[in-house]
Amino acid sequence: MNNIVILVGSVRKNGNTVHLAQSFAEDAAIHNDVEIVSVADYNVNPCIVCNSCFIREGNQCFQNDDMVRIYEKFRNADIVVVASPVYFYGISAQLKAIVDRLHTPMRNTFRIKKLGLLLVGAAELPNLFEPIVIQYQMVLDFFKLESIGTVLVRGVKEIGDIEGSPALKEAYELGTSI
């Protein structure tokens, strides 16, 4: 059994990203401890580069905002799945704020071994996800993590567009494989 945290990067509580994340979680949650952490439920400030996390207890940020609750969820995580809408060819700003503030504890304190990536975007461009996938690959290399897989969904824009997409089954099966 693994502790899995799914970080959902859309503030739309019933949007395409969370739908994809829930499909992943459906079967994965039968054999694992799965928690969805959505940016919709937390207010997290960006990193201000004070570097005090280098020397603070647990490498946690000094900022006393909702990130305190998120650190708690990461303490025992074995696998982290990042689920994001594409915003300007990157992940959402709300999610990036969380990811940046995980950097030092990920390097020194957490025991995360594997990452997964779920992405949705409106365009049909073949290379839509390339910038994020390259970043994902670099993070895997830097932190010496294994990828459990990726599910990339093009052509979904409005709430509900992902309904009926074969990608939901793909995400479900990725969850089953854990």
Ligand X SMILES: Cc1cc2nc3c(=O)[nH]c(=O)nc-3n(C[C@H](O)[C@H](O)[C@H](O)COP(=O)(O)O)c2cc1C
DSSP state of 61: -
168 touches ligand X by CB under 6 A: no
Total residues interacting with ligand X, rule: CB under 6 A = 18
Cβ-contact 86, 128 below 8 angstroms: yes
16 touches ligand X by CB under 6 A: yes
85 touches ligand X by CB under 6 A: yes
Angle between helices 93-108 and 67-74 (to 10 degrees): 50
**Taking CB positions, which residue lies at the least distance from ligand X?**
15
Binding range to ligand X, per CB under 6 A, among 10-18, 98-106, 108-116, 163-171: 10-18
Please pick, from the candidates 121, 148, 151, 152, the single residue that binds ligand X as defined by CB under 6 A: 121
128 touches ligand X by CB under 6 A: yes
Q: By three-state DSSP, how is residue 157 classified?
A: coil
Burial class (CB in 10 A: 0-12, 13-18, 19+), 78: middle
User: Both tokens of residue 57?
Assistant: 């207890």
Which chain residues interact with ligand X by CB under 6 A?
10, 12, 15-17, 85-89, 120-123, 128, 156-157, 159
